[in-house]
Structures are given as C-alpha cells and as structure tokens.
C-alpha cells in the first residue's frame, strides 16, 4: 500500500459529506483519509484512540464514521461507535481485519451500515462509503419526516382538545342555561296542570319528559367532548366518571385503582392520561368482548403511571403493527407528546394491556 502524507486539518469543502476516521494505525488512517479526500469527501479528523474519536465526533458531528474495531484507549471501536451514535447522529462503517462471529454480533448491536475488511481495495471502499452515505441521507430524511408527522399529530391533538374545550363550554354554558330555564318554565306549568284540559295535561307530561331528556343529552354531549370534572375535580374523578359510564353502557365490571396524590397534576399530563384512558375504553367496548376492566392510576415522581387491562379476546399482533390503527397511534402519540412512553400488548393469560408512563412538563415543542 502506498502511503501519501496529507494534512486533513481544515480540509473543508462545503456541502461534501463529512467523514471521521478512527484507526489506530497511523499509516492506514492517513492513507484512508487521503483517498477519501481525493474522492471529494470532507475528512473532519483522524483519531487513533477512543477518547479522541469521541472528542472529534462531538466537535465536528460527522455524517459517517469509519471505525476500526481494535483501537487504543479506554473503549474498543464497537463501544466507541455506540457512544458516538448516542451523542451525534452519525452512521457507522467498521473497517476491520477481524470478522469473527462474536465481534460481528457485538458490532451488529450498533446497526452499522457496512463493513470493510482490511486490506481493502479502492473500489470496495468507495462503494461501501457511497452506499453508507446514501443510506445515512435517507435515514436522516426519514427521521425528519417522522418528526414532522409527530409534531403534526401533536398539533392536531392540541387543536382538537382546544376545540373540544371550547365547544363543550359553550354547550354546557349556553345550551345548558337555556335548557335549565326551560325546565323551570315547564315545572311552573306542571304545577298548574289541574287548570288544563286532560289533552293538554298529557301533552305537558310529554314536554316535561322531553325537556329532561334534552338536559341529560346536553350534559352527556358536553361531558363526552371534555368532561368538566377533569378541569374541576381532577384526573381521578374524571376517570372514575368514565369508568362508571363505561360500566353502565357495556355491563362490564370496571374498577379504578388509585395511588398517590393525583390532584395536582399539570393540565397537559392529566388530559393525555384521560384521553388515553378514553381511547382504551372505547376500544375495549368495541373490540374486546370483555367482562372485566381494571384501571390503575398512580402518581409517580415527575408524572403519572396509567394501566388499563381487560379480560377480553386480546389484541392481535397485526392490529398493533397496522399503520392504519389510528386509535392506537393516537394513544402512543398522546404519551410521546408529554415526553412519555406507552405500550399496548396482549397478555399471556388473555386480554389486552395498555400502559403509559407520562411526564409532567415533558414532551415536544410545538
Ligand atoms: N382492547 C382490545 N382488545 C382487542 N382488540 C383490540 C383492543 N384494542 C384495539 N384492538 C384492535 O386494534 C385495532 C386498532 O385499534 P384502533 O383504536 O387503532 O382502531 P379502531 O378502534 O378499529 O378504530 P378507531 O379507533 O379509529 O375508531 C382494532 O380494530 C382492534 O382490532
Ligand atoms: Mg379505537
């Protein structure tokens, strides 16, 4: 192998893919760097040790790291690669003379984009680097698209929530007031009933019933949109109200277990927990054929833990993977929007479990 000395410090060509070389044999490192520069890449640095590799990666944020597995320093190339990936959004290609099974399976955990075995040929190296950079770009684009979709989902949920609060308040305050006044008027008439013809008396009885039904309906619609109890009495009261309503509608037993002080939760976290619970219960009513549902609500440091289990038919793997499962996606995004995590899975003994850990003050900026 011919060795060509070259200084890479300050070698910039704006827009060119940025590559960091981690290789403890100086001659190989210099040669790699020379070739890559020659092909139009920007070599942001040569590191001979794990510590220097981390330093350079933090400083230059390369697109790609060509990583020797056996290097000097406190960590080997695989561990260094893992640390670099955790800290900066770089892709990895291992350049190595060792390709035994153990090494490869350890290396695989870091999802490298490729391997180049030493000694390497120009064509082979170039093909692997090109492929790695193309995949890196595609991955970055995918990540950006996913992030955009997430923000969009969060925005939609926020807008919907605000709208629900607004419409629910108007229904409750304006329509609710009107119906209440109507109820007083009708009650007054009802007291004068004896003064009316029997026909009119019968008609009045119907009107009283209808006004009562309208009042109940107004309460139900406003509550479904956004239960006032969530804002007034907190998450636990709102979930208990929902559980009672669920039990009455489906005939299933629905028990709420609580732990810790759930009163002083911030509004976003309480809303997220409430909506997750609402979607989970709506799914149970629609799909599970369950006779028993348990809801656990627990205040934990920094947020709240929520678990909803049913003893129904159990959610299918296909439903969990289906990108059209919008209700499940909404549950996951609700959790993510407050910096939380969530899992939805069938249970080994039958039924389904939805779990969410939600954090106060966590989550994405809109
Ligand atoms: N508790 C459950 N038990 C059994 N299957 C479930 C349960 N929850 C969800 N599923 C399955 O997961 C699928 C996806 O649920 P998802 O909430 O995304 O959609 P949906 O309820 O069918 O429609 P939408 O929520 O949009 O009205 C359901 O169609 C159902 O097959
Ligand atoms: Mg659903």
- For residue 365, pLDDT over 60 is answered with no
* Nearest listed ligand to the Cα of residue 282: 2
Q: CA 231, 232, 235 angle in degrees (round to 5)?
A: 60
Q: What is the DSSP string of 1-68?
A: --------TT---TTS-EEEEE-SSHHHHHHHHHHHHHTT-EEEEEESBHHHHHHHHHHH--SEEEEE
Question: Does the beta carbon of 325 sit less than 6 angstroms from any atom of ligand 1?
Answer: yes
Please identify, among 102, 120, 138, the residue that sits at the C-terminal boundary of a domain. Answer: 120
Question: Does the beta carbon of 328 sit less than 6 angstroms from any atom of ligand 1?
Answer: yes
Q: Which stretch of 30-44, 54-68, 100-114, 239-253 has the lowest confidence by average pLDDT?
A: 100-114
Q: What is the pLDDT of residues 335-352, one digit of tens each?
A: 998 889 999 999 999 999
Q: Is residue 45 part of a domain?
A: yes
CB under 8 Å to 181, separation ≥6 — which residues? none
Question: Does the beta carbon of 312 sit less than 6 angstroms from any atom of ligand 1?
Answer: yes
CATH number at residue 305: 3.30.565.10
**Of ligand 1's atoms, which has the minimum distance to the CA of residue 354?**
1
CA 190/CA 199 separation, integer angstroms: 14
- Spatial CA neighbour of 93 closest among 74, 120, 72: 120
Q: What is the pLDDT of residue 102?
A: 78
Question: Does the beta carbon of 252 sit less than 6 angstroms from any atom of ligand 1?
Answer: no
Domain with 246, as residue range(s), is 233-366
| Tally of structural domains, the chain | 2
CATH number at residue 79: 3.40.50.2300
* Helix residue ranges per DSSP H, the chain: 26-38, 50-60, 77-87, 101-108, 122-170, 176-191, 198-225, 228-232, 235-250, 267-283, 317-321, 326-337
Return the SS3 of 182: helix
Tell me, in angstroms, the distance from the centre of ligand 2 to residue 157's CA.
15
Question: Does the beta carbon of 284 sit less than 6 angstroms from any atom of ligand 1?
Answer: yes
Q: Is residue 327 part of a domain?
A: yes
Q: Which stretch of 8-12, 131-135, 145-149 has the lowest confidence by average pLDDT?
A: 8-12
- For atom 21 of ligand 1, the residue with the nearest CA is 283
pTM of the model as a whole: 0.69
Please identify, among 120, 144, 176, the residue that sits at the C-terminal boundary of a domain. Answer: 120
Q: Is residue 203 part of a domain?
A: no
Q: What is the pLDDT of residues 233-290, one digit of tens each?
A: 889 999 999 999 999 999 999 999 999 988 888 888 999 999 999 999 999 999 999 9
Question: Does the beta carbon of 249 sit less than 6 angstroms from any atom of ligand 1?
Answer: no
Tell me, in angstroms, the distance from the centre of ligand 2 to residue 280's CA.
7
CA 63/CA 1 separation, integer angstroms: 27
């Amino acid at each position: 192998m011919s060795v060509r000395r070259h200084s890479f410090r300050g070698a910039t060509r704006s827009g060119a893919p940025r590559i960091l070389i981690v290789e403890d044999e100086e001659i190989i490192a210099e040669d790699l760097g020379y070739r890559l520069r020659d092909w139009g890449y920007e070599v942001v640095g040569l590191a001979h040790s794990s510590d220097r590799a981390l330093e350079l990666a933090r400083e230059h944020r390369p697109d790609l790291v060509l990583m020797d597995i056996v290097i000097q320093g406190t960590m080997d190339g695989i561990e260094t690669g893992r640390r670099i990936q955790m800290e900066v959004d770089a892709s990895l290609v291992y350049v190595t003379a060792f390709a035994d099974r153990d090494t490869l399976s350890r290396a695989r955990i870091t999802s490298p984009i490729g391997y180049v075995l030493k000694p390497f040929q120009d064509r082979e190296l170039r093909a692997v680097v090109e492929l790695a950079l193309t995949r890196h770009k595609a991955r970055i684009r995918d990540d950006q698209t996913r992030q955009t979709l997430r923000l969009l989902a969060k925005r939609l949920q926020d807008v919907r929530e605000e709208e629900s609060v607004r419409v629910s308040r108007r229904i409750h305050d304006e329509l609710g007031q009107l119906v209440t006044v109507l109820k007083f008027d009708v009650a007054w008439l009802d007291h004068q009933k004896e003064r009316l013809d029997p026909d009119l008396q019968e008609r009045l009885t119907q009107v009283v019933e209808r006004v009562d039904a309208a009042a109940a309906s107004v309460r139900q619609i406003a509550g479904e949109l956004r239960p006032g109890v969530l804002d007034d009495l907190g998450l636990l009261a709102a979930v208990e109200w929902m559980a009672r309503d669920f039990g009455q509608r489906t005939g299933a037993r629905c028990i709420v277990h609580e732990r810790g002080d759930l009163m002083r939760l911030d509004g976003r976290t309480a809303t997220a927990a409430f909506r997750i619970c609402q979607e989970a219960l709506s799914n149970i009513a629609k799909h599970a054929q369950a006779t028993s549902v348990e809801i656990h609500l627990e205040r934990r440091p920094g947020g709240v833990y929520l678990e909803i289990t049913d003893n129904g038919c159990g959610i299918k793997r296909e439903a969990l993977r289906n990108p059209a499962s919008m209700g499940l996606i909404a549950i996951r995004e609700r959790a993510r929007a407050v910096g939380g995590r969530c899992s939805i899975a069938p249970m080994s003994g039958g039924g389904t479990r939805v779990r969410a850990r939600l954090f106060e003050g966590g989550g994405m900026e809109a």
